Amino acid sequence: MDQQTPQSAAPSWDETERLTALRSYGILDTPTEQDFEDVVRIAAHVCNAPISVINLIEDTRQWFKAEIGLGVRETPLDVSICAHAILQPGLFVVPDTTQDPRFACNPLVTGEPNLRFYAGALIETPEGLPLGTVCVLDYKPRELTEDQAFTLRALARQVMTQLELRRALVAQKQAQEQQQLLIRELHHRVKNTLATVQAIMGSTARASSNMEQFQQAFIGRIASLGKTHSLLTEERWQAVPLQELVCLELEPYDDAAGKRIQIQGPQVELPPDLAVPIGMAIHEMTTNAVKYGALSEFGGMVTVTWELRTEDGRRKLDLEWIERHGPPVEPPTRQGFGSRLLERVLTAQIHAEVTTDYRPEGLHIQVTVPLT
State how far the alpha carbon of 211 is from the alpha carbons of 72, 283, 320, 339, in Å.
81, 21, 33, 21
120 occurs within a structural domain: yes
Kindly report the number of other CB atoms within 10 A of residue 219's CB atom. Answer: 11
Sign of CA dihedral 358, 196, 246, 206: negative
222 occurs within a structural domain: no
Question: Over the stretch 323-348, which tens digit does the pLDDT of each residue have?
Answer: 998 888 888 766 555 566 566 667 77
Of the residues 122, 155, 172, which one is the last residue of a structural domain? 172
Report which residue type is found at 148.
Q
Burial (CB count within 10 angstroms: exposed 0-12, middle 13-18, buried 19+), residue 309: exposed
Of the residues 121, 153, 172, which one is the last residue of a structural domain? 172
When the pLDDT of each residue in the chain is averaged and rounded to a whole number, the result is 83
> What CATH number is attached to the domain comprising 254?
3.30.565.10
Query: How far is residue 93's CA from residue 141's CA, in Å, rounded to a whole number?
Result: 11
- The answer on 152 and 23 residing in a single domain is yes
3 occurs within a structural domain: no
202 occurs within a structural domain: no
Are 366 and 319 in contact by the 8 Å Cβ rule? The answer is yes
H-helix or E-strand containing 27? none
pLDDT at 118: 96
Least confident segment among 56-60, 188-192, 296-300, 366-370: 188-192
pLDDT at 191: 55
Read off the pLDDT band of 133 (50, 70, 90).
very high
Read off the pLDDT band of 229 (50, 70, 90).
low
Query: How far is residue 129's CA from residue 279's CA, in Å, rounded to a whole number?
Result: 51
Q: For 228, how many CA atoms within 13 A lie in the half-sphere containing its CB? A: 25
Report which residue type is found at 265.
G
Kindly report the number of other CB atoms within 10 A of residue 43's CB atom. Answer: 27
Question: Over the stretch 164-194, which tens digit does the pLDDT of each residue have?
Answer: 998 989 888 887 877 777 666 555 555 555 5
Give which of 103, 90, 204 is closest to 144, Cα–Cα: 90
State how far the alpha carbon of 248 is from the alpha carbons of 116, 165, 223, in Å.
76, 49, 11
323 occurs within a structural domain: yes
Are 357 and 364 in contact by the 8 Å Cβ rule? The answer is yes
- Listed in order, strand segments (DSSP E) in 208-291 are 240-241, 261-264, 269-270
- The pLDDT of residue 4 is above 50: no
pLDDT at 127: 92
Q: For 229, how many CA atoms within 13 A lie in the half-sphere containing its CB? A: 14
State how far the alpha carbon of 93 is from the alpha carbons of 65, 79, 299, in Å.
21, 16, 88
Burial (CB count within 10 angstroms: exposed 0-12, middle 13-18, buried 19+), residue 98: middle
pLDDT at 234: 55
- The pLDDT of residue 228 is above 60: no
Are 89 and 177 in contact by the 8 Å Cβ rule? The answer is no
> What CATH number is attached to the domain comprising 54?
3.30.450.40
- How many residues are given for the chain? 372
What single-letter DSSP state applies at residue 127? Answer: T
In degrees and rounded to multiples of 5, residue 72 shows phi and psi of -130, 160
pLDDT at 5: 44
- The answer on 159 and 43 residing in a single domain is yes
- The answer on 119 and 20 residing in a single domain is yes
Collapsing DSSP to helix, strand or coil, 151 comes out as helix
Range of the domain at 267: 238-371
Instruction: Find all residues with CB under 8 Å of 299, minimum gap 6, and list them.
Output: 325
- The pLDDT of residue 232 is above 90: no
> Please, which residues bridge with residue 305 across strands?
264, 320
Percentage of the chain surpassing pLDDT 70? 79
How many structural domains are present in the chain? 2
Summarize the confidence of residues 41-68 as an average pLDDT: 96
- The pLDDT of residue 130 is above 60: yes
In degrees and rounded to multiples of 5, residue 313 shows phi and psi of 80, 5
More reliable by pLDDT, 117 or 231 = 117
Query: How far is residue 277's CA from residue 274's CA, in Å, rounded to a whole number?
Result: 6
Of the residues 172, 196, 229, which one is the last residue of a structural domain? 172
- The answer on 258 and 130 residing in a single domain is no
Query: How far is residue 12's CA from residue 18's CA, in Å, rounded to a whole number?
Result: 11
Question: Over the stretch 37-47, which tens digit does the pLDDT of each residue have?
Answer: 999 999 999 99
Summarize the confidence of residues 280-302 as an average pLDDT: 83
- The pLDDT of residue 115 is above 50: yes
Summarize the confidence of residues 126-154 as an average pLDDT: 95
Summarize the confidence of residues 305-322 as an average pLDDT: 90
Q: For 122, how many CA atoms within 13 A lie in the half-sphere containing its CB? A: 19
- The answer on 69 and 151 residing in a single domain is yes
Query: How far is residue 48's CA from residue 362's CA, in Å, rounded to a whole number?
Result: 94
Report which residue type is found at 311.
E
Are 104 and 98 in contact by the 8 Å Cβ rule? The answer is yes
